[in-house]
Amino acid sequence: MQFNPYGGTAAQLAAALVNAGPEPVPRRLDAILAAHDYRPTDAVGPAQAAELGRWAQRLGAVFAEPDVTGRVRLVNELLAEVAAPPHISQHDGKPPHFHYAEPDAPLVHRVKAYTAGGLAHALCDDPTRLGRCDRPGCATVFVDTSRNGRRRFCSTRCANQTHVADHRRRRRGR
């Protein structure tokens, strides 16, 4: 499945922020932003990390919501909070693309707008593509970019652990 930059990279960044936990370390957030091709001009500070941690909890509610209508409501609430007129930007050698925050807005606001826009685009492309790992005890979220859209686990490791546990349970039942 092909996503636009917001539905793809921005939605993936939203998932990474959720997976970073409610109290992410600033240096870890810098690495997450860089890994998702988001290049802020300054490093994330402790206050910004705390605010992004609170934002990540709200993003996490979108992934946890099983109902599409509920997901849409939650994303609309996020979008309303960061509302700014969209504009087309060209930077860092990239082709023209949309931005949903003013270029001079504070870093946290820009990340919020980017991730809310990413989840909105992902929902509009296919609302079933936002997932939470099916392995009991794993709370990792993901954006399903698989060809068939049937991803159930965050990783091969979680899938294997679940399948092995299921196999052992069936064998004990014989």
* Residue 1 confidence (pLDDT) above 60: no
Q: Give the tens place of pLDDT for each residue, 84-120.
A: 888 888 887 888 888 888 888 899 999 999 999 999 9
Q: Which bin fits 79, alpha (ψ -120 to 50), beta or left (φ > 0)?
A: alpha
Cβ contacts of 106 within 8 Å, gap of 6 or more: none
pLDDT at 24: 92
pLDDT-derived band at 173 (thresholds 50, 70, 90) equals confident
pLDDT at 74 over 80: yes
Distance CA 27, CA 35 (A): 12
pLDDT value at residue 4: 52
pLDDT over 90 (residue 35): yes
Coil/strand/helix, residue 89: strand
Q: Model confidence at 3, in pLDDT bands (50, 70, 90)?
A: very low
Give tens-digit pLDDT for 114-139: 999 999 999 999 989 999 999 999 99
Q: What is the mean pLDDT of residues 56-83?
A: 96
As a whole number, mean pLDDT of residues 46-61 equals 97
Entry pTM: 0.87
Q: Residue 7 — very low, low, confident or very high, per pLDDT cuts 50/70/90?
A: low
Confidence at residue 149, expressed as pLDDT on a 0 to 100 scale: 86
Sheet strands (E) in 45-165: 87-89, 97-99, 130-132, 141-143
Average pLDDT, the chain: 90
Candidate from 5-14, 36-45, 155-164 with smallest mean pLDDT: 5-14
